[in-house]
Amino acid sequence: MRTTLLTLLGLAATALAGPGSYCLTDSDAQRVANNFGQTIENYSDALADRVLTQDFTDYSDSVNELINNGCPNGPQPLGSATFTSLADFKAGQGAQPSIPFQILNVWHNCDTVTLRWRSSNPGTVQPEQQVTGIIVLETCFVGGQEPWLIDTVYSEFNSGAWLYDLGVFQPTCNATSAKFFKRGISWRPNML
Ligand SMILES: *[C@@H]1O[C@H](CO)[C@@H](O)[C@H](O)[C@H]1NC(C)=O
Ligand SMILES: *[C@@H]1O[C@H](CO)[C@@H](O)[C@H](O)[C@H]1NC(C)=O
């Protein structure tokens, strides 16, 4: 009992100790998730300035793959950061069309928000395959009107479906491949 009380007092002291020790609430996390969604669906430079840190960094091999058009020797090597600063994000994302961003789930701990989302491809040239993704958003507490800024993003989504929707990726679709994929025998089409 005594130990529990001391632990609780210790936690309370930590929570009051300073900005670095604040913890995201459910509504803070929802706000952070919505803010990021807005940068995809309703982008503006003012929004990016308000909700992202100056040294914002975004890692997404899914986006790198799209930038490379699926080519192995493209300009954006897999594993490299897609955007390495706020200015870089604004130049890249600011040039994109609005992309529908539907939030399906939000989870969080004290400083990180994880969300699951779905999109439809505005550039689709054929009956569309849905695109679902998962994003981890690391945040910084700064207080004020917009207390949690997004600092680092790890984002992956079904870029295979995205490239299909754009007509860049043209799969070989026949009964044999469908059957083998359903049985989960191989991820590698060339083994079918
Ligand atoms: C973008 O703005 C529209 C219109 O205000 C809104 O309905 C939609 O939820 C916004 N998108 C996101 C991801 O917040
Ligand atoms: C089905 O796909 C496989 C693998 O791409 C190919 O070798 C085969 O010729 C295809 N069959 C038909 C009937 O198109």
Question: What ranges do the domains of the chain cover?
Answer: 21-168
pLDDT band at residue 4 under the 50/70/90 scheme: low
80 C-beta neighbours (distance < 10 Å), count: 10
Instruction: Give the pLDDT score at 27.
Output: 97
Q: From CA 152, how far away is CA 39, in angstroms rounded? A: 14
Q: Which residues line ligand 1 (CB under 6 A)?
A: 34, 37-38, 41-42, 101
Q: Output the CA 186–ligand 2 centroid distance in Å.
A: 16
Q: Could you tell me if the CB of 190 is within 6 A of ligand 2?
A: no
Stretch 114-132: mean pLDDT = 90
Q: Which of 110, 92, 77, 106 has its CA nearest to residue 43?
A: 92
Residue length of the chain: 192
What pTM does this model have? 0.80
List, in order, residues 6 or more apart from 172 with CB less than 8 Å away.
189
Stretch 18-35: mean pLDDT = 89
How far is CA 107 from each of CA 98, 115, 152, rounded to the nearest angstrom? 25, 6, 16
Q: Output the CA 177–ligand 2 centroid distance in Å.
A: 8
Instruction: Give the pLDDT score at 173.
Output: 81
Percent of the chain with pLDDT over 70: 80
Give tens-digit pLDDT for 35-92: 999 999 999 999 999 999 999 999 999 999 999 988 999 999 999 999 999 999 999 9
pLDDT at 187 over 70: no
Q: Which of 168, 159, 166, 187 has its CA nearest to residue 82?
A: 159
Cβ atoms of residues 191 and 150 within 8 Å: no
Instruction: Give the pLDDT score at 180.
Output: 57
Instruction: Give the pLDDT score at 170.
Output: 87
Burial of residue 162 (CB within 10 Å: 0-12, 13-18, 19+) is buried
Q: Quick one: CATH architecture of 21-168?
A: Roll (3.10)
pLDDT band at residue 8 under the 50/70/90 scheme: low
Q: Could you tell me if the CB of 172 is within 6 A of ligand 2?
A: yes
Quote the mean pLDDT of the chain: 86
